[in-house]
Amino acid sequence: MKRIIPFLAAALLFCCCKSTTPRMIEDFNFDWRFKLTEQICSQPDFDDSDWRELHLPHDWSVEGEFSDANPSRPTGGALPGGMGWYRKHFSTPEGIGQGRKCFLEFDGIFMNSTVYVNGQTVGTRPYGYSSFSYDISGYLNGEGEDNVVAVSCDNTEQPNSRWYAGCGIYRNVRMVTVNETHIAYSGVYVTTPEISPEKATVKVQTEVEGDMTGTVLNYTVLDKNGKKVASSTTAELEIPRPHLWDIEDTYQYTLQVCITKDKEILDCYSQKFGVRTIFFDKDKGFFLNGNPVKLKGVCLHHDMGCLGSAIHPRALERELSILKDMGVNAIRTSHNPPAPELLNLCDEMGFVVMDEAFDMWKRRKTRFDYARFFPDWYNKDLSDFIKRDRNHPSIIMWSIGNEVPEQLDAKDESLENLSPEEANFLLNFSDPTNSGDPSESNPNVLLTRHLASIVKALDDTRYVTSGCNHAYTHNNLLRSGALEVLGINYNIAKYDSVRVWFPDTPILGSETASSINSRGVYHFPSSRLEVLPHKFIDQYPEAANTPYPEDHQLTAFDMSRVPWGQTAEEAWYAVRERDFVAGTFLWTGFDYMGEPTPFEWPSRSSYFGVVDLAGFPKDTWWMYRSEWTDNTVLHLLPHWNWKEGDIVDVWAYYNNADEVELFLNGKSLGKSSKEGPRLHAQWTDIAYESGTIEAVSYKNGKEVARDVRRTSGKPVALKLEADRQTISADGYDLSYVTVSAVDENGIEVPTADEMLRFSVSGEGELAGIDNGNAADSLSLKGTQKAMFSGKALGVVRSIKGRKGRITLCVNGYGKDYTIDINSVLLVD
């Protein structure tokens, strides 16, 4: 796969006019200065000489120390917030004020951002997940003169999130210069309303800013290799014999829209798109290009472990590759608009997407969350979100909310108790969906319909849904008629009831499982179900039977879950056995910072992921791989380092076989197989003996696969393995180095916990360190990290323009161990 550059490649088009490219796009991420301060720093002559120099994207929060005293609390990641300022000097581009305009495009600033140019306020945006563009033309000095852009980010009022959000300009920034007559930001919308094997109709809506007198819009469609396949001066084209976009064949076309006047090109805009059909059937689930596809999805939060929330395309690519290998074909952007790079990668790697707008509406979930901004900003934020993302072929659903409290009515919530202005608003909005009973007066039902109507007015080619955790007939969202797919969070026992209550609407497991596990930690007996936390004991009395582990670690056997959730096997089995449930989005694909349920401090990140925060798969990863792919799987657990006489249980995940036989030091312990909802083979009450356990799977009596666990000796050395030995010297690219402990025979030691020291020399820098331990309070940006379950991680980043050798050194067991990464000017 070609490396993805960290700005919107899809927006670039190199077309020539008389002297200047009509649309110039500059990476605006480098040469910034930063400081944490509450002082007003917007004036151009402000002295920032002692500020830190850095390049974006940047998350200052992850650079801090974990502490229970931080106002974000462990739920928000236990990292500091505060007020941060960024400043950058730049020269006024050619032609500004003489027929040219200049824009700054921000993909996301968390949060409460204000942008100043030369001391003047350009704009403010409270929602930290929104992308936006500012016209700064009128704020600039003369051509070639110096200017200062200053950006303030106010994340002092916390808690404002139920997970770690990060702080700062954590997504990419571009400077775009265009002619006064130009295509607007997010101004091209491509649809393919008619598709057959012979042809596909392409319709284009284009938003143009400036004087259109005497201009012509020219439309050209290019295939994947850049060959022209259709062109027109009307907004409707035909592609002959279209190549469809699919999960297994991610073919995309490129639409070029050019504005010309008297043979001069005023602007050119390039937009990738795919040709595909999507359909949800109430009985049979989801169809892509007419073929049934069970959605095997995961929910993903936006942080990337030790990198924090600062977007790194390579980090996203790594995450998605790990999930792809697991069998994942769908992503839910929980619970906010994602970075554009995630959607680009989903388009290219073959994932379908539930693109989500909000975690809350008017009723808050945390004290300072988005609910305080929702009344004034929801329309702008939702509209900008849809317009930005609506050309991605990967997106099949828009989610207008997640578990919003408005599902159920508050005691004083009725039209009679609202202000006249708010009641009027809810009763009189335009509802092009014509959904539900027109005499409905419930304000939450009306709000649901209103949000759905905003979406459908901007994109009527995809389905509207929402994640609902209250599976009742009186749920305002479910009964609104506005949801075209009913997203059911958890509540797997009610799938059949929801089908009866709402028989004409497709159903989806929009959030499932919530099993909680620690990688490489095993509690016996494996048959004992662990249900935590206790705080919901009135609703879920089974939680009373589980003591809190003092070490803040949970079993890696799939026998640990939250009270409202299910084990991974239970949740998937309920979806697998029901054709009418279109699929699942399990909670979650990766562990994420914040929300360390069921624990408080010193835990500071989640246990929900199938993959831990460092990117190391937990055992249930192989369960999903065995169920979600045709690749042969045989995975044995646990490790085989116990005490003589311990009573141990053994599981095996497998597929493409009828049964599995287990051997202990060459002696058969019998055969086992899956049974109904139990999706693993198992052997219980084994008296531990050091040596080897080996599993062999069989199909019709013939061997299919083997997997072995060996008892290791004491750890004496480290093994370093880089996922990529060569990276680009662009200041963005990354190499992930896995550090494992081994014994004198080179066998990995799964229980090693040695404290390691990391350092980098040469033409790169240490971007972060991790070990996957949710209860480790050492900094992810420091130099020391203990191994957890025998592993740790170091992440190396290149430095812009500096090619050559990067050496990562890891000290452990009294010795330095090194690995070299090659940084070059270009990597394909």
3-state class of 573 per DSSP?
helix
C-beta of residue 48 within 8 angstroms of C-beta of residue 58: no
Please report how the helices 568-576 and 620-628 are oriented relative to each other, as an axis angle in degrees rounded to 10: 10
Phi, psi dihedrals of residue 559, rounded to the nearest 5°: -140, 30
The answer to whether the beta carbons of residues 749 and 742 sit under 8 Å apart is: yes
Burial class (CB in 10 A: 0-12, 13-18, 19+), 551: exposed
Positions annotated as catalytic residues are 403, 511
Runs of H (alpha helix) within 270-339: 313-326
In terms of DSSP H, where are the helices of 282-372?
Answer: 313-326, 340-349
- Helix or strand holding residue 489 (H, E): strand 486-489
Q: Please report, for residues 27, 38, 170, the alpha-carbon distance to residue 57 in angstroms, rounded to integers and kept in the order given.
A: 11, 21, 5
Which of 389, 426, 424 lies closest to 406 in space, CA to CA?
426
Question: Quick one: tokens of 53?
Answer: 């120099």
- Cβ–Cβ under 8 Å, residues 230 and 243: no
- Residue 824 is given by DSSP the state E
Half-sphere exposure of 415 (CA within 13 A, CB side): 14
Distance CA 135, CA 752 (A): 55
Question: Which DSSP category does 426 fall into?
Answer: H
Beta strands 352-356; 395-402: pairing state: parallel
Report which of 663, 675, 671, 669 is spatially closest to residue 701, judged by C-alpha positions: 671
How are beta strands 216-222 and 100-106 bridged, if at all? Answer: unpaired
Closest CA to 335 of 594, 64, 576: 594
- Amino acid identity at 803: K
Q: Are 206 and 257 in contact (CB under 8 A)?
A: yes
DSSP 522-535: --SSTT--EE--GG
Q: How far is CA 145 from CA 77, 99, 180, 287, in A?
A: 43, 17, 20, 56
Give the DSSP per-residue string, 21-83: -SSEEEE--SSEEEEE-SS---STT---TTSEEE-SS--SGGGS---TTSTTTGGGTS---EE
Interatomic CA distance for residues 186 and 236, integer angstroms: 19
From residue 333, how far is each of 142, 346, 356, 510 by CA, in Å?
42, 11, 6, 11
10 has which bridge partners?
Answer: none
- The phi-psi region of residue 254 (left if phi > 0; otherwise alpha if psi is between -120 and 50; otherwise beta) is beta
HSE of 577, CA atoms in CB hemisphere, 13 A:
13
| C-alpha to C-alpha distance for 654 and 511, rounded to whole angstroms | 25
Residues with Cβ < 8 Å from 512, sequence gap 6 or more? Answer: 489, 490, 492, 565, 566, 571, 572, 574, 575, 584, 585, 586, 587
